[in-house]
Chain A
Amino acid sequence: MLDLTSNKSVERKFLRINPLAGCQPLGAMYASLGIHGCMPHSHGTSGCSRFQKTMLQRHFRQSFKVTTSVLKESAAIFGGESNLQTAVRNIIDLYDPEIIAVHTTCLSEIIGDDIKACLHNFPLPEGKYMIHANTPSFSGSHITGFSNMVASAIQYLARKTGGPNNKICILPGFVNPGDMKEIKRISFLMGVEHILFPDTCGVFGQRGVEKINKYPAGGTKVVDIIDLGNYQKTIALGKYTTEAAAVQLKNQCGVPMELMDLPIGIEATDRFIMELIKSSLRDVPPELNEEREQVIDIILDAQSYYYNKKVALFGDPDLIIALAEFLAGIGMVPRYAVSGTPGSYFEERMQQIFKKYKIAGMAKSPADLFELQQWIKNDRVDLLMGGTHGKLLSRAVDVPLVRIGFPVMDRHVHSYLPIVGYRGATRILEMVLNAFMDRLDREYPENDLLFI
């Protein structure tokens, strides 16, 4: 398994081996699914939407509807605008969505289709909306695409119509529906009136099949997105996924923004709750106090199993940053952190964390799993944390893998359970401890194997 990776570092500037990130349309597709009654439309070849849909489908274990413009050679020569118009007409006739979210691909970006003009000229029925985001695959990653789609949804829809109300807009970033649900629960417990955008709770995980022109109950309603302009504040969780959208809302409607890390782990969740307190009329409820104490109790109880263990983290930058801070805070050593998404903030922020906890860590973005494998071959770690793509690496270097983030294509249930908040911290701790203890159970000599 991955036997050809040598531990000698090699000069490599162009060849990308075992990539860590998908392309922009993937994130845009996921973001559009977080809008209620939305049909994501991929303005590209049929293969693009198939590839990205397959990956999301494997992660969430649920099928969903995505349409495509089916661009062919003729579109490459004459432009794909007529295809887009046909597509929009067919979508409205057949599937009757409330809103169509068009995202581009490398093909349509290079052809240079003017989507905005094309959609502008289209006679749209009353009460229907259409938005688009430019998501060229040759820059950024799926995280960039997610960010672009959220930002352009705000650009198209959000309007300031009156004075600020007492509601808060929370931009959760590229997280699972389980995490979004937990963020909503915490905000609800804090007594904060809020809207999550995008919100994929109730979009995935529905039993049975749906009607062809019915949409899942979940998702942020279009009226709520329009109303975002009147909100009191935006809390943006994760710089890479939400900053663009929060800035867009600030510039467009003057909604003040607060940029934070994803609330993974104790410190980040504390900060999130402190931010919520500012808009809340309530004290922190006992439920949250209890959950926080529980996490701390677990950390103290299980210390000996994870203390000073080295971890390699890979995946999406916002997740890795928050996760590294949590793990470093409880005494683990995030030795390596790699992300496939380009951007210098990741390395800067990781260096801050390394410095704070005096860790000799290495962080790189954009990097790939081949590089991580070479690092691990030279200096081993005790645990891998990241998506399914680390499966091969895990087998190759014989280090247990804790599946977290996106994509996790070979496990069920994970997307419904949170990793954010105090409950999420408990779950992360459980996963990490189980990985260590399962391994101990397997490797201990027989006479050392105890029930305690």
Chain B
Amino acid sequence: MSLTEYNPTKRQVLTGEREISSLIMDIPGVLCKHGCSYMACRGLVLAPISGIFIITHGPVGCSCYSWGGNRIRQRSANMEDNYSRYSFSTNMQESDIIFGGEEKLKQTIKEAVDIFHPPVIAICSTCPIGLIGDDVQSIAQAAEQEYGIKVLSFACEGFRSIPGYRLANQGIIEHVIGTGEKNVGKYPVNIIGEFYRGQRADEITRILNRIGYDIVAVLMGDGSYDDLKTAQQARLNLFNSNKAVADLVDVLHEKFGTGWLKFNFIGLDNIINSLKNMADFFKAPELVSKTDILIAEELAQIQDVLNECKNKLKDKTAVIFEDEFVSLQYQALLKDLEINPVTIGNELFCAPGQNEISFMSATESVPGGPAKKKETMRYDTDLEHYHVTIPSRLFDKIKIKSKLSLNNDNGTYSRTAYNNILIPHLSRKETEYLLKILEPDIFFPGIKEIFTGVGADSSFCFFQADQYRFDYGGFQGAIHFARDLLMNMRMAVWHKNIAPWKIKSHD
């Protein structure tokens, strides 16, 4: 046991964690981008942990789709336990569905142990298992005793409402953390969150190591099983997650007394505040001075290019129609470039499903009974008389471009965060109307919007970082982001390009 004084810090770091109650449930028959419990359990939490041998208990499809899709990079100490490039499943057939898959699972574990000798096996159940009722947990316990290895079982059937990452994290906290010991540095920290992956993880490691922190274990990011066993030795949990796992750090605090801080590696302000908060937490003068030196050095490196980009991007208008987490990140990145974005219809502030269904046509299903019309009333926004409050900088810009009479004093429902404007509760149709008025230079559509038609008629460019394999984390991220913005704006000319023979001559 150790004693540390804990001071809450005032520097703001924007992260994306949310309450579980705000999780939006999908409505049947409406385009959705949500996954399932299995997807999150296996793909988000377990897959990046090196050394875990994951068996998908179910038909072969789920294991095929979840094989190698995520951009994860396992860091295993010894290559003998690197199973990340493999996909294992029990390949259930029709007869197993009828007669039960328990025997098959037992045999599969036996074969896995015979062929690969893994130190730890995790069994992820898929939909059929929950319905046919295989007792996976007792098989896991029996196998644990028989082969003398750790066997974890996760009941993450796809139809479960409880998110898979919660199941997986619970399992790891209960059964894994605290079972090992290792030598840790003077300032041991844990990293919790799916932001610690791939290239960005390398960059985070480089910066934290330069200041003198020791990363003990990583949960939900690229980590290893052996490290996770010793996660209780860290004194600080760095937390940033887009998922509803904010209570995870509280649980760790209760169980091991580990302090926690919000940590964000996107956007210069976020990075600087995060690093300073960390130095404050440990109350070590050497950390504070090293942090200051590092920040100054890194900023000096990017200053020239950043200024150049800022000049090029001056007076541009951006509109974001992303979900809450991505839009928070874009807001931070755009702020570095001194662009004020307009954020529309942020899911965080919308009632469930409102983004998808604009009017009162949505129906909600009642289990076991006939479908009912949704009873809540919602009025369409009267755009002709709608008041938008816009910061004066942005106000002038938009006013020049459009003839919309924006009244600065009569603002009604809008909120400023990071000096941008947020217009909640707009339906798709209304958004499109607003986009026509605002005429942004760049538009950030959400994953859903790119193919469901928001702004389809407009000539501005769409920003799609999903299709492009770069990550905007770290000090260099701001520059990469600026370059991508410029690239997108340049390529945007092709969006509306039509063949010359299709243009009617006016002679």
Contacts and interface: CB of A to CB of B under 8 A. Distances in A.
Contacts of B455: 209
B26 interface: yes
B34 to A, nearest CB: 5
Interface stretch (B89-97, B280-288, B301-309, B392-400): B89-97
A78 B80 CA distance: 47
A4 B26 contact: no
Contact of A210 (B130, B364, B366, B451): B451
Contact of A73 (B34, B62, B63, B160): B160
Contacts of B388: none
B96 to A, nearest CB: 7
Contacts of B362: 90
A208 interface: yes
Dominant secondary structure of chain B at its interface with chain A? loop
B413 interface: no
B28 A84 contact: yes
B39 A90 contact: no
Contacts of B82: 3-4
- Which one of B34, B85, B94, B362 has the greatest number of beta carbons of chain A within 10 Å? B85
B36 A45 contact: yes
A19 B60 contact: yes
Interface string B96-108: 1100000010011
A221 interface: no
Interface string A293-327: 00000000000000000000000000000000000
Given A90-B362, A212-B428, A47 B35 contact: yes
Contacts of A210: 451, 453, 456
A105 B29 contact: no
Please tell me the size bucket of the interface on B: 35 or more
A84 B34 CA distance: 18
B486 interface: no
Interface residues of A, number: 85
- Which one of A1, A4, A89, A111 has the greatest number of beta carbons of chain B within 10 Å? A4
Nearest to A50: B35
Interface in A391-432: 392
Contact of B115 (A3, A12, A72, A208): A12
- Which one of A10, A94, A370 has the greatest number of beta carbons of chain B within 10 Å? A94
Interface string A355-379: 0000000000000001000000000
B495 A208 contact: yes
B169 interface: no
A80 B182 CA distance: 50
A49 B38 CA distance: 13
A78 B368 contact: yes
A379 to B, nearest CB: 20
A224 to B, nearest CB: 26
A1 B111 CA distance: 21
B367 A19 contact: no
A207 B93 CA distance: 41
B377 interface: no
Interface in A58-76: 63-76
Contacts of B462: 209
A163 B131 CA distance: 49
A122 to B, nearest CB: 11
A54 interface: yes
A339 interface: no
B85 to A, nearest CB: 5
B32 interface: yes
Interface in A78-116: 78-79, 82-91, 93-95, 105-107, 110-111
A17 B65 CA distance: 13
Interface stretch (A131-139, A176-184, A230-238): A131-139
B29 A86 contact: yes
A207 B87 CA distance: 35
Interface stretch (A20-28, A256-264, A329-337): A20-28
B91 A110 contact: no
Contacts of B94: 136, 138-139
B456 A51 contact: no
Contacts of A271: none
Interface of A: 1-4, 6, 10-19, 21-26, 41, 44-52, 54-55, 63-79, 82-91, 93-95, 105-107, 110-111, 136-139, 141-142, 207-212, 214, 340, 370, 389, 392
Interface of B: 25-39, 55, 58-69, 79-80, 82-83, 85-94, 96-97, 104, 107-108, 111-112, 114-116, 126-128, 130-132, 158-161, 356-357, 361-371, 428, 445, 449-456, 462, 495
14 contacts: A4-B80, A12-B115, A14-B90, A14-B91, A14-B111, A25-B61, A45-B36, A65-B452, A66-B31, A70-B26, A78-B367, A90-B27, A209-B455, A212-B428
Given A3-B79, A50-B32, 19 more contacts: A2-B85, A12-B115, A14-B107, A15-B111, A21-B64, A22-B61, A46-B35, A48-B158, A74-B367, A75-B367, A76-B131, A82-B369, A85-B371, A90-B27, A106-B59, A110-B127, A209-B454, A209-B455, A211-B456
